[in-house]
Amino acid sequence: MSQNTGDAASGVALVTTRRVDGNRVADYEMWSEKVRACLERMPGFVSAEQLPAIPGQQDFWTQIVRFSTKDHSVRWTRSSELAALVKEIEPYTENLEVSAVRIGTNDWLNFGLSTKSGPGAPVKWKQLIAGTMALYPTVMVVSQLLGRFTTIPLALSVLLTNAIAMALVMMVFLPQLSRVLHGWLLPAKRLPVWKTVGGAVLLLAIIGACLALFLVLLPG
């Protein structure tokens, strides 16, 4: 039987969460590099990343490995190479969950306005800042355009403004923003404090600049 065209067009992301002994984090990071080197020799491999544990928020590491097809992902999960690699870290890790997620050609598995932190999701405060940066100017522009070119009741205007703005943000702006900010939203390893804070300050400055611009252009 021929393969379903939808399956052929879709990739698969293998998401594994593990607890890692705090005294062996350096060993685990070195092991992750060995895994990547092995993956780069596997057919269908697309990308791999490790999301570190976050003190006080989540006590597990998340490994995300993407393959271009389901068959390639299955070949990896059943390979002797993976079995040997996993055996190396058994003394100091604990597997919590392993799952396969179907992804399309435009994979936004790692970013969205999720309500919780966890595998594949940025921490909530980063989502809030990035989402506000995208949503605020979009709402303002859409609101002004509707007000200028239509005469409709306030309740309908608010509904249309939010519907149009959210559609633009979710389908156009957030995917692009997640590409640009990927290293800050979902760093492969824990960022220095100055980079984390600096990224937040930059986004807040952009929001502030938008506010200042709108106050000048739309004083009333």
Taking only the tens place, the pLDDT of each residue in 2-47 is 344 444 446 788 888 899 998 999 999 999 999 999 999 999 898 8
Q: Taking the complete model, does pTM exceed 0.95, yes or no? A: no
Taking only the tens place, the pLDDT of each residue in 194-203 is 999 999 999 9
Strand order in the sheet with 45-51: 45-51, 61-67, 11-20, 93-103
User: What is the average pLDDT value for the chain, to the nearest integer?
Assistant: 82
Q: State the residue for tokens 């939203």.
A: 185
- pLDDT at res. 109: 40
Q: What residue type is assigned to position 205 of the chain?
A: A
Q: Which portions of the chain are predicted below pLDDT 50?
A: 1-9, 104-119
Q: May I ask the CATH architecture of the domain 5-103?
A: 2-Layer Sandwich (3.30)
CA neighbours within 13 Å on the CB side: how many for 140? 16
Q: Which residues, 6+ apart, have CB-to-CB distance to 132 below 8 Å?
A: 207
- pLDDT at res. 189: 72
Cα dihedral angle (192, 129, 121, 7), rounded to 10 degrees?
-120
What gap in Å lies between CA 149 and CA 36, rounded to an integer?
Answer: 54
Q: Where in the chain is the domain with CATH 3.30.70.100?
A: 5-103
